[in-house]
Amino acid sequence: MKQLLALMYILIFSIAGRSQTTENIEMLFPKGKSKALILSYDDGCVQDRQLVKLMNKYDLIGTFHLNANKLGTANYLVKDEIKKLFKGHEVSVHTFNHPGLTRLSVEEIQFEIVEDREELERLVAYPVRGMAYPFGDHNDTVVDVISKLGIQYARTVNDTYGFEIPENFLKWHPTMHQFSKAYWKPNDPIQDSIEMTLFYKTIDSFLQTKNLAVLDIWGHSWEMGGDSKKWAETERFFKYLSAHSDVYYCKQIDLVDYIQAYKNLRFSMNNTMVFNPSSLMVFFRYNKVMHFVGPGETIRL
C-alpha cells in the first residue's frame, strides 16, 4: 500500500512538473526572413517630401510620426498632402503639439494623444496605432496613459546599437539615430567621422548577422535641411540597405502585428501540431527547419 501511494505521488508530481517547451522554436519574419528594417522619422516637416521620394526610389518603407496641430504651419507639411505622400508608408502619432509629456497632467497627455490620433486617422483613413515620444520623453505614467488609448508601440530615443526585439513595445528603444550622433555638435568633423564610422559599422553587423535582428533607425528629415552633402549621404545609406533578400522592409506597426501573430501561435503539447488563429501567415523554425502556417490553419510538424 505504502509503495503504491509513493508511486502515485511520483506520477502526479512528474505530470505537475511538466511544461510545454518552446526552446526549439524560433520566430522568423514574413517570407522566412531573419531581419527586419524600420526607418522612423519624426515631426512631419516639408523635407519629408524629399525623404519619401528617396525611400520610394529604393523601395524602402518608412514610419512617419506627425504632430497634427503643426501641419499647415511654417516648415511643416500640409494636411491635404498627408494621405498621398505617405501612401505605402506608416503615419503614426507624435502628439498634437509636440510637448515633453512627462511634465503634463494625465488629462493633458490624453488630450495630446487623442487629438493627434483622431486627426491623423481622419487624414489617412486607417486606424493609427503607433507613436514616437516627443524628445523621447516618457515615464511610467505616460506609458500607462498611452496604453489605454490604443497605442500599440511607442519609440523612444534611447539608442541601443543592438538588434533585439523589445520586451515592452511601449518602450521601444531604437537601434540608433540616422548617422549615429554625427552633426550633433556643430563644426566637429573629427567627431562626425567617428560617428559615421559607428553608423556604417552597426549597419554592417546587421547585414552580416545570422541571428534574428531588427535594425531601427530614427531621425528627422529637417536635420538634412538644404544640405546636399547630408542628402547624398542619406541616399548612400538607403541604397546600401536596399534590396537585401533576407530583410523584411516594414512599417513598424506591421512588425508589431506580425510579432503578435507569432506569439499567438498555439502549439500542441508535444509540438507536433501548431494552430495559427491570426489573419497573417506566420514563419518560424522548429528544430532548425523552417515552417509556415497560414491564417486560421493547423499544420503538423
Determine contact, residues 248/58, Cβ cutoff 8 Å. Answer: no
CB-wise, 218 or 283, nearer to Zn ion? Answer: 218
For Zn ion, the closer CB: 108 or 164: 108
Q: Is 254 in the site for Zn ion (CB under 5 A)?
A: no
Cα 61 vs. chain centroid, distance in angstroms?
A: 12
Q: At its nearest, how many Å lie between Zn ion and the CB of residue 288?
A: 43
Residue from 38, 43, 247, 255 touching Zn ion (CB under 5 A): that is: 43
Which residues share a beta bridge with 26? Answer: 285
Segment interacting with Zn ion (CB under 5 A) among 40-48, 56-64, 118-126, 280-288: 40-48
Site for Zn ion in 48-87 (CB under 5 A): none
Alpha helices in the chain (DSSP H): 2-16, 48-57, 82-85, 106-124, 140-147, 189-208, 228-241, 252-263
Give the range of 37-45, 145-153, 227-235, 263-271 binding Zn ion by CB under 5 A: 37-45
Q: Which of 122, 46, 133, 44 is nearest to 89 (CA)?
A: 44
Q: For residues 42 and 233, which CB has a smaller minimum distance to Zn ion in the complex?
A: 42
Give the three-class secondary structure for 221.
Answer: helix
Q: Tell me the site size for Zn ion, rule CB under 5 A.
A: 3
User: Which residue lies nearest Zn ion, judged by its C-beta?
Assistant: 42
Q: Indicate the residue type of 125.
A: A
Interface with Zn ion, residue 42, by CB under 5 A: yes
Which residue, 42 or 254, is less far from Zn ion as judged by CB? 42
Q: Which of positions 116-175 make contact with Zn ion (CB under 5 A)?
A: 134
**Which residue lies nearer to Zn ion by CB, 27 or 157?**
157
Can residue 223 be called a binding residue for Zn ion (CB under 5 A)? no
**Phi and psi torsions of 176, nearest 5°:** -170, 160
**Amino acid symbol at 89:** H
Instruction: Please count the other Cβ atoms lying within 10 Å of the Cβ belonging to residue 284.
Output: 20
If we measure between CA atoms, which residue out of 213, 167, 174, 166 comes closest to residue 34? 213
Give the cell for residue 214: 531588427
Tell me which stretch binds Zn ion (CB under 5 A): 36-44, 140-148, 195-203, 262-270.
36-44
Residue closer to Zn ion (CB basis): 43 or 195 = 43
Report the interface residues with Zn ion, using CB under 5 A: 42-43, 134
